[in-house]
């Protein structure tokens, strides 16, 4: 009996420690696995479908989950769909721009002023028409295409707008890769990346204006901003090249110095 009395608290402490470390190790997974995902994953048919679509979305990629859009409490099964916790459910067709505009404020403003936004009440396209709802697509020129645009109107003007956008969009993508390459080589690129990120967001707002003339008018300004960032990147690239040259010269000098010291050593040894 005495042996059991002594060892039971020890065993309990060991078990408690094991549980603590197990929960600690699993904490990140629990943090991501909201009650929204847990509940809908076990539902039949269309009720579980949004999870699979969300898994392939740019929202998932950037850590945006169900409650970020639909509200509610993602930590409590009982309150997950409670209006008191901000749950708003599924928006109607006309409510979608305001629903998405909670985060995408500038884009909502541009959309509302566009031909698309002005046609909303008459059944015109909203955000999910082009971007999808749960499988939200990344904003890119790929969204402007024959199949998507011609479902509502002739593709001609949309094609003209895409052509006006493509050169600047390609240059943004190329500069992003250049900055990433500089970063990988140890160059501080945060400021340039911040400027390019802001520029890209401003540029993508033009998409939602669906106005070819406005795109053409604004293109020169975006190209100038890109020139400024590209000049900074080129200066860093040149500096990196100079560092490589200096480094190579130092290596050569060290090698020559080593050879000279070796020759001097042999000369002294031969004199002895």
Tell me, yes or no, whether 208 lies in a domain: yes
Domain holding 183, by residue range, is 145-244
Residue 179 scores a pLDDT above 60: yes
What span, in angstroms and rounded, lies between the C-alpha atoms of 202 and 264? 66
Residue 219 scores a pLDDT above 70: yes
Residue 101 scores a pLDDT above 50: yes
How many independent structural domains does the chain possess?
1
Any idea which of 18-32, 54-68, 85-99, 148-162 has the lowest mean pLDDT?
Answer: 18-32
Tell me, yes or no, whether 260 lies in a domain: no
Tell me, yes or no, whether 14 lies in a domain: no
What span, in angstroms and rounded, lies between the C-alpha atoms of 169 and 205? 12
Residue-wise pLDDT for 37-70, tens only, equals 999 988 888 899 999 999 999 999 999 999 999 9
Tell me, yes or no, whether 222 lies in a domain: yes
Tell me, yes or no, whether 129 lies in a domain: no
Which residue is it, tokens 């160059």? 187
What is the model's pTM?
A: 0.69
Tell me, yes or no, whether 201 lies in a domain: yes
What span, in angstroms and rounded, lies between the C-alpha atoms of 241 and 237? 6
User: Can you give the pLDDT at residue 99?
Assistant: 95
CB 151 within 8 A of CB 205: no
Nearest of 69, 105, 101, 74 to residue 88 by alpha carbon: 69
Tell me, yes or no, whether 218 lies in a domain: yes
Tell me, yes or no, whether 60 lies in a domain: no
User: Can you give the pLDDT at residue 32?
Assistant: 63
């Amino acid at each position: 009996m005495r042996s059991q009395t002594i060892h039971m608290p020890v065993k309990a402490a060991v078990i408690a420690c094991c549980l603590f470390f197990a929960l600690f190790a699993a904490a990140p997974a629990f943090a991501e696995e909201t009650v929204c995902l847990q509940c809908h994953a076990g539902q039949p048919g269309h009720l579980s479908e949004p999870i699979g679509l969300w898994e392939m979305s740019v929202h998932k990629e950037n850590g945006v989950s169900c409650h970020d859009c639909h509200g509610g409490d993602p930590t409590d099964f009982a309150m997950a769909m409670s209006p008191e916790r901000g749950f708003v459910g599924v928006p109607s067709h006309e409510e979608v721009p305001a629903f998405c505009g909670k985060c995408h404020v500038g884009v909502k403003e541009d959309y509302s002023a566009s031909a698309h936004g002005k046609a909303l009440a008459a059944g015109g396209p909203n955000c999910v028409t082009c971007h999808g709802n749960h499988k939200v697509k990344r904003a890119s020129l790929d969204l402007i295409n024959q199949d998507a645009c011609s479902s509502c109107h002739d593709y001609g003007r949309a094609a003209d707008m895409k052509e006006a956008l493509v050169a600047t969009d390609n240059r943004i993508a190329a500069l992003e890769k250049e900055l990433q390459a500089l970063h990988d080589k140890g160059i501080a690129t945060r400021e340039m990346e911040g400027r390019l990120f802001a520029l890209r967001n401003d540029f993508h707002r033009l998409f939602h204006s669906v106005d070819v003339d406005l795109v053409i008018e604004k293109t020169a300004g975006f190209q100038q901003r890109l020139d400024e960032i590209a000049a900074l990147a080129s200066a860093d690239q040149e500096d990196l090249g100079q560092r490589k040259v200096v480094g190579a010269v130092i290596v050569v000098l060290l090698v020559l110095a080593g050879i000279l010291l070796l020759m001097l050593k042999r000369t002294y040894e031969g004199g002895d």
